[in-house]
Amino acid sequence: MSLSMWLSIKTAMLLVLLVEWVQAWNAAMDPYVPRKQSCLAAQDFGDTNRPYAPLEALLPAVEFRLLLNKAVEIANATPLAEFANNSQSMENSKSESRSHIINELRKIFEEPGKTIGNRRPLQLAVKDKDSTRTSSSTGLRQLKLSGGAVRTACNSYTSNLRFGESYVLTANKSDRKRMIREDRLPGIKQVIVADLDLRDLYRNLVQTKIEDIQAEVFQEDPDFFEVRSLLTEANQAFNRWFELVRVQDILEAERLLAPLFLQTHGQIPHSS
């Protein structure tokens, strides 16, 4: 990560930390019936109090994360220790294994400069929540990962976010008194701007890492270990972006997408 990118992220995080608990929102603005909290990542202030967007707006980003998780699983299928074995008898095997992994990743990532293929109609999954219908009858091509497409997916969600008219300050009693006394409580607009800035910074980082992966994977002689490292970094950045999304919405989106993903990719990857 470049120094400027690191400083930008730290600056946004400090702005968010004006209230340190910026993601706690007025539960009265939430139209969803509260559910049992998931063990995935629900924060102390309550997952249902976060800003929210219609589920349709989240589906593209969730599908891209599933694809990225699949790519990570493929790249990590062979332990690094096996690649470290430098015996002559292992050289051909290692080369074949790396080539196979790169070829599999090329099926997931869009080649730089090529037009992105048609998307599957994700809205069908939302309209037919209880249906087992998949994309088999659509004739559309399999979705591929690209930095630009991920950016568009993240923007689709962020642009549809709905915020409450107040936030819940979860500081302890002494900190609350100090912030009030020093007139340090931020306004609602300031909190919203900080929230959106942080989402955009993580989005930009994911986009950059995925574009780096695309460039490396489609080189004539890709650096396997560089690709593997970039995949880890992209996945970590995408996970940070999703930490700002309600867990229950992520789980519901994954449930709706499962039939479509199984149809085109054969299995649902584990979260990483």
- Asked whether residue 253 carries a pLDDT value surpassing 50, the answer given is yes
Give the pLDDT score at 38: 29
Of 10 and 187, more confident: 187
Contact status, residue 50 vs residue 23, Cβ threshold 8 Å: yes
Cα–Cα dist 27/47, whole Å: 10
**Average confidence (pLDDT) over 66-72:** 96
- Asked whether residue 254 carries a pLDDT value surpassing 70, the answer given is yes
Cα–Cα dist 116/146, whole Å: 8
Q: Among the ranges 117-121, 122-126, 187-191, 224-228, which has the highest mean pLDDT value? A: 224-228
Give the pLDDT score at 226: 96
Give the residue carrying structure tokens 């539960």.
27
Give the pLDDT score at 239: 97
Give the pTM: 0.72
Cα–Cα dist 258/272, whole Å: 17
- Asked whether residue 18 carries a pLDDT value surpassing 90, the answer given is no
**Average confidence (pLDDT) over 209-225:** 96
- Asked whether residue 66 carries a pLDDT value surpassing 90, the answer given is yes
Q: Which of 60-74, 86-100, 214-228, 231-245 has the lowest mean pLDDT?
A: 86-100
Q: Which of 64-68, 89-93, 129-133, 143-147 has the lowest mean pLDDT?
A: 129-133
Of 241 and 1, more confident: 241
Q: Which residues contact 57 (CB under 8 A, 6 or more apart)?
A: 156, 157, 159, 160
Of 50 and 219, more confident: 219
Each residue of 80-121: pLDDT tens digit? 545 555 555 556 667 788 899 999 999 999 999 875 554 555
Contact status, residue 45 vs residue 170, Cβ threshold 8 Å: yes
Bridge partners for 109 per DSSP = 145
**Average confidence (pLDDT) over 34-59:** 60
Amino acid at 14: L
Cα–Cα dist 22/249, whole Å: 19
**Angle of the 188-217 helix axis to the 147-158 helix axis, nearest 10:** 160
Of 90 and 226, more confident: 226
Residue 136 burial (10 A CB sphere; 0-12, 13-18, 19+): exposed
Of 262 and 66, more confident: 66
How many Å separate Cα 228 from the centre of its chain?
17
Give the pLDDT score at 216: 97
Mean per-residue pLDDT of the chain? 76
Q: How sure is the predictor about 157, in pLDDT bands with cuts at 50, 70 and 90? A: very high
Cα–Cα dist 22/168, whole Å: 8
Q: Which of 31-35, 125-129, 159-163 has the lowest mean pLDDT?
A: 31-35
